[in-house]
Amino acid sequence: MKDEFTPTRADKFTFGLWTVGNRGRDPFGDFVRPPLKPTYVVQKLSDLGVYGVNLHDNDLVPIDATRRQRDKIVKEFLKALGDYDMCVPMLSTNLFFDPIFKDGAFTSNDPEVRAFAIQKVLRCLELGVELGAHIFIFWGGREGTEVDASKDPVEALKRYREALNFIAEYSLDKKYGFRFCLEPKPNEPRGDLFLPTTGSMLAFIETLDHPELFGVNPELAHEHMAGLNFAHVVAQALEAGKLWHVDLNAQKLTRFDQDLRFGSEDLKGAFFLVKVLEDNGYDGPRQFDAHAYRTEDEQGVWDFALGCMRTYKILKAKVKKFNQDPEIKEILGGFSATGPPEADASGAKIQVDDLTRRDSGLEKITKKFNKKNVALLLAQKFDRTKIASKGLQYERLDQLTMEILMGVR
């Protein structure tokens, strides 16, 4: 059954091979689903209206494959992409699964491990080019510690930077044109991971040799593990011009990384996330980095995938409704400083008798620092008690939001 919430390529929804391919193994129980062939995943996702499929090198090519085996796998995969009108927007290197990475990749104390990690990335970049990917993600799943005595965290950051600089230089030299995204997580699988939040990553990026090549890939579950508001996290990245990719899922606050179906927890949080993305014209891929419950068989996996996408589109429609709602507009409009500025060109002292904020023109004064505006600001009289006595109607605003979300408005 098709309806307005049926996904299409234009929605730019993507899934990693490792997401729908998740076989339900957890630390306490074994696989519950058989493996799915990558080419079959491409076909199934295409049928569902997905735009692209992402992968780590070893989701497709086993770590010990020979060059011939690798080339054969890649050829078959490329054929499936062509047959089913799918693309690979993003690639990543698995720097966390193999035992060699047990104490980190770029930040390992062992120079041989660090060199191996970088070599693995260079090879993965080549794979990315073959598959047509433009975005390359680094999730430092093993870059951290349990034993703080084992690593100098300052030294670890220097190693991290050195590796990223080397890789970026290589990509430039080869004219690969990749944009790199750093994906933070506060912990798991390590006791503590370096650069634990999107804020940390944004700051770190500015210390790299080529900050312009690096953005972020925030993941909802990861920031929720740290108790953060994901819409705010995404807003900062967007505002910095660094949101080039995003990992959508759901998470019960502060738990281990649950990677639940998008929107299945904290629906209001998911709504404001979609709102911040849509209102600000985010046009990158919307990746669902999540997986089906362990209770599911293969059909449950496709139900999960469709559910993620439908929920996104339903929330997008709710955002439209919210933005057009006259009562909501009225409440929010009470704050916009739309009136003429009270500060005139002569810089005459302003008397603001009726300080309704709406017409005060104060916004203009503080937008630009100059002598005149400073004088105007310092001359301003504020009726603190009057300003503070105004009720802001947020109870009604939130209830209106909830009523839209609950489908009665």
Nearer to ligand GLT, 18 or 282 (CB): 18
Among 11, 59, 183, 265, binds ligand GLT (CB under 6 A): 183
Q: Residue 137, interface with ligand GLT (CB under 6 A)? A: yes
Q: Look at residue 92 and give the partner it binds from ligand GLT, Mn ion, none, a contact being a CB closer than 5 to 8 Å depending on partner kind.
A: ligand GLT
Q: Look at residue 230 and give the partner it binds from Mn ion, ligand GLT, none, a contact being a CB closer than 5 to 8 Å depending on partner kind.
A: none
Sheet arrangement for strand 246-248: 214-216, 179-183, 135-139, 90-92, 52-56, 13-16, 286-288, 246-248
Among 282, 207, 287, 215, which residue's Cα sits nearest to residue 18? 287
Which of 11, 59, 247, 325 is catalytic? The answer is 59
- From residue 227, alpha-carbon distances to 234, 252, 389 in Å are 14, 10, 32
- From residue 29, alpha-carbon distances to 4, 17, 145 in Å are 39, 21, 25
Q: Look at residue 313 and give the partner it binds from ligand GLT, Mn ion, none, a contact being a CB closer than 5 to 8 Å depending on partner kind.
A: none
Nearer to ligand GLT, 138 or 204 (CB): 138
Q: Residue 57, interface with ligand GLT (CB under 6 A)? A: no
Q: How far apart are CA 299 and CA 209, in angstroms?
A: 47
Tell me, by CB under 6 A, how many residues bind ligand GLT. 10
Q: Would strands 192-193 and 246-248 be described as parallel, antiparallel, or unpaired?
A: unpaired
Q: Residue 18, interface with ligand GLT (CB under 6 A)? A: yes
Among 11, 59, 103, 247, binds ligand GLT (CB under 6 A): 247
Distance of alpha carbon 35 from the chain centroid: 27
**Shortest spacing between CB 217 and ligand GLT, in angstroms:** 7
Q: 59 an active-site residue?
A: yes
Q: How far apart are CA 80 and CA 38, in angstroms?
A: 9
**Shortest spacing between CB 290 and Mn ion, in angstroms:** 7
**Shortest spacing between CB 218 and ligand GLT, in angstroms:** 10
Q: Which of residues 327-366 bind ligand GLT (CB under 6 A)?
A: none
Nearer to ligand GLT, 56 or 286 (CB): 56
- Contact between 292 and 301 under an 8 Å Cβ cutoff? The reply is yes
Q: Residue 219, interface with ligand GLT (CB under 6 A)? A: yes
Using CB under 5 A, list all residues that contact Mn ion.
219, 221, 247, 257, 259, 289
**Shortest spacing between CB 237 and Mn ion, in angstroms:** 14
205-208: list long-range contacts, CB under 8 Å, 24+ apart. 205/242, 207/161, 208/161, 208/164, 208/165, 208/168
> Which residue is listed with tokens 């730019």?
12
**Shortest spacing between CB 13 and Mn ion, in angstroms:** 15
Q: Look at residue 18 and give the partner it binds from ligand GLT, Mn ion, none, a contact being a CB closer than 5 to 8 Å depending on partner kind.
A: ligand GLT
**Shortest spacing between CB 137 and ligand GLT, in angstroms:** 5
DSSP H/E element including 220: helix 220-225
- Contact between 63 and 98 under an 8 Å Cβ cutoff? The reply is yes
Q: Residue 201, interface with ligand GLT (CB under 6 A)? A: no
Among 182, 184, 161, 165, which residue's Cα sits nearest to residue 173? 165
Q: Residue 101, interface with ligand GLT (CB under 6 A)? A: no
**Shortest spacing between CB 217 and Mn ion, in angstroms:** 7
Q: Look at residue 160 and give the partner it binds from Mn ion, ligand GLT, none, a contact being a CB closer than 5 to 8 Å depending on partner kind.
A: none
Q: How far apart are CA 196 and CA 224, in angstroms?
A: 12
Q: Which of residues 273-292 bind ligand GLT (CB under 6 A)?
A: 289
Among 43, 32, 28, 27, which residue's Cα sits nearest to residue 17? 43
Distance of alpha carbon 76 from the chain centroid: 30
Which of 56, 222, 245, 291 is catalytic? The answer is 56
Which tokens sit at 190?
């390590």
Nearer to ligand GLT, 5 or 256 (CB): 256
The catalytic residues are 56, 59
Question: Which positions lie near ligand GLT, rule CB under 6 A?
Answer: 18, 56, 92, 137, 139, 183, 219, 247, 257, 289
